[in-house]
Homo-oligomer: A and B are copies of this chain.
């Protein structure tokens, strides 16, 4: 900076002023400084700046170590939103979701002096770990928790993590209503692991839709997120469907489960959607080419990322919290149709 100052014939402080867009610098002076900067290829030292301003310009993002569709898409959307705001994004992944791991990651970020943290917290224990730590910087948590309940409250603890998520419950209602609207008497649900907010909320939305329609609420079938589990469940259901007491429609907790179901049904000789209708959740790449193409719920991750960044900046500026829910949409494809008389073959 001293070199630039010398070359431009000004003091280093004037160079600093130019760099920071300070108003009271004469245009001619500014140009001279700018020219000198370009000439020397000068680049300001971010560490020195951070030292004196006490701002790192970095936010930390915690995500799970899985390559699952949702978390990944969220991370990418987040990075883009952050860079648009002039922030650097530092990421850390957690494989295990216990509190100790979360604490280590948060320490990692505090050591880096991040100005805010975004936690992609799909599971309850991840969220609990965040709650119990309360880092000294604002935290935004992407977790489909308390969205419905918390939306009205204004008396939140300002240091509590702020919430944003795609409204999983609304998505599940969309899927269930779609099936009911086609004429299915009820809908069976294959739920994801119930330590995931997404699974809890999708289950709740499914139940709400059934209750609202006055339909029977069958027992949900608990599973993981994997296609393996969908396959196993599908084989059991296929037997029931053949026996005549199976569901005419199934709402799978995600597209992987739906994929497993489809395969099991296909292997059993059941026709989808005639013998049984199937809806998934996520709209993963390729779901339009499952056999048959899968009706599913699409989540707007880009919007989620931007909303998250907005929330974080508000928190950094000390503005009050307001949970944000983002509406998913239904993608109707060939795996759903009105119920048909079952044809034995």
Query: A91 with B93: in contact, given A110-B43, A286-B227, A289-B228 (CB under 8 Å)?
Result: no
Chain B residue nearest to A292 (CB atoms) is B263
CB distance B46 to A48 under 8 Å? no
**A290 to nearest B CB, angstroms?**
7
> Taking the complex as formed, is A72 at the interface, i.e. its CB lies under 8 A from any CB of chain B?
yes
Contact residue among B48, B58, B286 (Cβ-Cβ distance under 8 Å from A259): B286
CB distance A56 to B47 under 8 Å? yes
> Taking the complex as formed, is A326 at the interface, i.e. its CB lies under 8 A from any CB of chain B?
no
> Taking the complex as formed, is A80 at the interface, i.e. its CB lies under 8 A from any CB of chain B?
yes
Interface size class of A (residues with CB under 8 A): 35 or more
Residues on B with C-beta less than 8 A from A293 are 263
> Taking the complex as formed, is A288 at the interface, i.e. its CB lies under 8 A from any CB of chain B?
yes
Query: A67 with B69: in contact, given A231-B289, A259-B289 (CB under 8 Å)?
Result: yes
A289 to B95, CA, bound (A): 25
**A222 to nearest B CB, angstroms?**
19
1/0 per residue A250-284: CB within 8 Å of B?
A: 00000110011011001000000000000000001
> Taking the complex as formed, is A241 at the interface, i.e. its CB lies under 8 A from any CB of chain B?
no
Query: A93 with B67: in contact, given A112-B88, A289-B263 (CB under 8 Å)?
Result: no
> Taking the complex as formed, is A185 at the interface, i.e. its CB lies under 8 A from any CB of chain B?
no
**A76 to nearest B CB, angstroms?**
6
Residues on B with C-beta less than 8 A from A227 are 285-286, 288-289
A230 to B66, CA, bound (A): 27
A163 to B77, CA, bound (A): 28
> Taking the complex as formed, is A327 at the interface, i.e. its CB lies under 8 A from any CB of chain B?
no
Residues on B with C-beta less than 8 A from A58 are 90
Question: How often does this chain occur in the complex, in copies?
Answer: 2
A113 to B45, CA, bound (A): 8
A45 to B111, CA, bound (A): 8
**A321 to nearest B CB, angstroms?**
26
Contact residue among B67, B73, B90, B285 (Cβ-Cβ distance under 8 Å from A89): B90
1/0 per residue A39-74: CB within 8 Å of B?
A: 000011111101100001010000001111100110
**A306 to nearest B CB, angstroms?**
14
> Taking the complex as formed, is A17 at the interface, i.e. its CB lies under 8 A from any CB of chain B?
no
**Counting chain B CB atoms within 10 Å of each CB, which of A73, A108, A227 scores highest?**
A227
> Taking the complex as formed, is A96 at the interface, i.e. its CB lies under 8 A from any CB of chain B?
no
CB distance A256 to B286 under 8 Å? yes
CB distance A113 to B47 under 8 Å? yes
CB distance A47 to B51 under 8 Å? yes
Those 5 A-B pairs whose CB atoms lie nearest each other, nearest first: A47-B50, A227-B289, A47-B51, A227-B286, A67-B73
